[in-house]
A and B are shown apart, each in its own frame.
Chain A
Amino acid sequence: MTEPVVSFNRVTKRFKDLPAIDALSFDVRPGEFLTLLGPSGCGKTTILRLIAGLEAPDSGEIRIDGRRVDNMPPNRRDVNTVFQSYALFPHMSVFQNVAFGLKMKRVPPDALDQRVRATLQMVQLEGLAERRIHQLSGGQQQRVAVARAIVNRPRVLLLDEPFSALDARLRKQMQLEMKRLHRRLGITFIFVTHDQNEAISMSDRIAVMDHGRIEQVGTPQQIYEEPENLFVARFVGEINVFDGEVLQVADGALEGRVEGVVLKLPGRRGLKPGDRVKVLLRPEDLVVTKEAEGCDQPHLKGRVEELIYKGTTVDLIIRLGDGKPVFATEFFNEDAASISYQPDEPVCISWVHGWEVILPDEG
């Protein structure tokens, strides 16, 4: 096991007695792209500021490369930040902004010039070196902020919602460039966002956060397909949550009642007959069949309430007998060239056995 590049050991930070993060422990592996994902106010920015040294923890240990840094000032840490507001120096040119860190480290002028130019090229700003900051577009300022941080070749690059001010197209493009930079530089990236799509498409690992705690850490696939609790399931992507009850447990499989229908469910440790559970299914995992065409498997019954055409998919909102809405996504394919339902048409909902996620009901 390689030594973590950043490690938190029961770190707590309070603002006016409200814990922003509470006894938090986690490790960042060298070279990985780790995303801290969570709603605003969940403490993810506080973690970045603690790593950068812009805040000091109230208790606990923070280590960078095995060295304790709790009270080391930011200018002595081998870590650089891309701020959400970019925080560029308005009185300097693009070149001077990027050169700032090297100048503080007294890098000789020749080497400095060469490294700044190489970095500007890496972020495709080589023609704009002499521009002033206010002459640049938002996307260009963003690139300057990135260049200013990576030119120092830090151990860890911290990115605090760096794309939140960009429009959707530019954001997509910057996400791709950031992944490319990450591969090329081999620097550890710690990225903060509240955008789950951004997190899923960019990260090696995601830490989903809520109220100053990490709810789950895992690869994007683990987070999406095997959420460990309802918060993670609901925060990452659309998901249907059905109420269920365990009826029987036998040989690692369950029999349960889901929304009033008796079904076979995959087993899960720690469940016993009588336990209330939540059965989770992604919209794209549901199979919708018209009742008129006959439904064989055990299924839930509902009526089509709304049909939303999305280009490559059609989203259905189906109302169950007890009034609970269910979201289902149908893909166009050869054998179902057109997907059409009458309003209020009765349908059956089923799914492939084993694709559901079963969580104990937290109450």
Chain B
Amino acid sequence: MDRIVQTLVDAVSVGGLYALTALGIGLIFGVMRLINFAHGELIMIAGYAILLMFGLPIWLVAVGALGAALLLALAIERAAFRPIREADPATLLISSFAVSFFLQKTMILFVGSRPKGVDFLPGLAQQIQLAGIRLQLLQIVTIVVSAVLLVGLTWFLKTTRLGLEMRAAAENFRMAQVLGVRANRVIATAFAISSVLAAVVACLFVAQTGLVQPRMGLQLVVIAFVGTVIGGLGCLPGAALGGFLVGAATILLQTLLPPDLRVFREAFVFVAVALVLLFRPQGIIPARGLKERI
């Protein structure tokens, strides 16, 4: 019983991290049809901000991580994506691939590719007793933070003016512009929100692994990216759900698969992706009225 609950909590907390990452990717895809590989580097830069500011008060470190991710997000939007906004999705994809590589390799150039240890939020490593079951505090915190962010983002999108403009732009960007919605404002907001998500993921992920390295974002993004596809590109609840499912599935596969097959779990996940693309090309929750132009 204990083990089942522990595994489930583990699956939910990992699922939460991937859901947040998938949301960051899904948000950008929604407004500009760009699959942002470089989202991983937003997580990475926030991780290094944590490393750099380690020892300062925790809130200050968190603000630093956020600031670093935000600056980088706005910079890449301005420098790399804005000039080719009208390009086809395939070109955008290649471009984000290049941005991601550029940032990763630049980081390796300056700090080397070795992981660096950082004991961030050690207080969360302790075990707690909850209804007689021993659980790690960090996992509970991860679940709670993910849930709060999901609710917060939903609130933002549903009730604020900017949120409304973002949803309109995601459905039909040209029509939104005809009505006077500012493309730059909407896209910058999407990047800003995705950087907040990235910074939070970085904090939780670094606390969990205790390591920072130039490629840390890659694994998260690749899996989350799969989640966005499975959930339905262009649909935020779908992205969150897909990210959650894929994240949780990797943990469950890890526990449930026989040991010889365990190492192949990522292969299973990606075969699943190909199958989803073939049989449900719109994802689990298809986006309504995906239109590129008037």
A-B complex is real: no
User: Chain B interface (Cβ within 8 Å of chain A)?
Assistant: none
